Structure 1
């Protein structure tokens, strides 16, 4: 699922995108963050990995200070659908962060939720795109990152 956000960003320089990477506040997993950091760096992007259990206010402050080209939220604990929606609303309400491409992916629910409903709710809350493990997530994520890097409409 994607939300149409128009960015006024220029295409990324040869050095790639400035990416902020984090988890939701309750997610203490780190292996997913390390994997994504290495992957994004391999694709030529600069990554600031804020680590696990990032409070919403800390992420908002870091994003306002850094003005990243892309914010990536990875979650493994199954609470991404609930906490992610709150996080998206927090970031979207912050000055300067209304149009920054913001994505979430990983294990978004505990299993009882309809993944399509969860994804729609996350987009409605402010995520530009939602990537799950069951919908070709990594290939779709790569295409999304490439479009952001090209300055395309996301």
Structure 2
């Protein structure tokens, strides 16, 4: 959970409101909550090394929801059990529908990405 608290504080520090759904959120619940909140950005975090596996299942569900089809969707953290920088996993996540993929060392790049977005309002 600490990674989610860190991520929430970072995103809020950058001027955005956050709806934190917690850890291990069922895919259908995530899609429903993001749709109902009219999310301006969806951020998925992985610390267990299953980000690629989970992400390639999740992204098509988000993209299949008409209200979320064009919503920026990013994922980051420990994406694979073999460490960071897995080009194959990154490509699979992008093909699945993620707009950006950040490995666990990409916090500065994630901050830059957030800075380029307008402030968001999630209710």
Same fold, judged at TM 0.5 (above): yes
More strand by share: 1
Whether the 8 Å CA contact 2:27–2:58 is kept in 1: the answer is yes
Asked if the contact 1:73–1:103 (Cα under 8 Å) also holds between the matched residues in 2, the reply is yes
- Whole-angstrom distance in 1 between the partners of 2:111 and 2:84: 26
Q: Does the 8 A contact of 2:14 with 2:114 survive in 1?
A: no
Please tell me whether residue 55 in structure 1 is matched to residue 39 in structure 2. no
> As a proportion of its length, which structure holds more helix?
2
Q: Report how many residues are paired.
A: 119
CA distance in 2, matches of 1:60, 1:102: 12
Q: Are 1:41 and 2:12 matched, yes or no?
A: yes
Q: The residue matched to 1:149 in structure 2 has which SS?
A: coil
In structure 2, list runs of 5 or more residues that go unmatched: none
Unaligned runs of 5+ in 1: 1-29
Q: CA deviation at 1:133?
A: 2.1
Which of the residues 96, 105, 110 maps onto 1:125? Answer: 96
Partner of 2:112: 143
Q: Which has the larger radius of gyration?
A: 1
Change (3 A) 1:112 1:37: closer
Per-residue deviation, 1:148: 2.2
SS at match of 1:103: strand
Runs of 4+ that moved beyond 4 A: none
Two-structure CA RMSD over aligned residues (Å): 1.6
SS in 1 for 2:68: coil
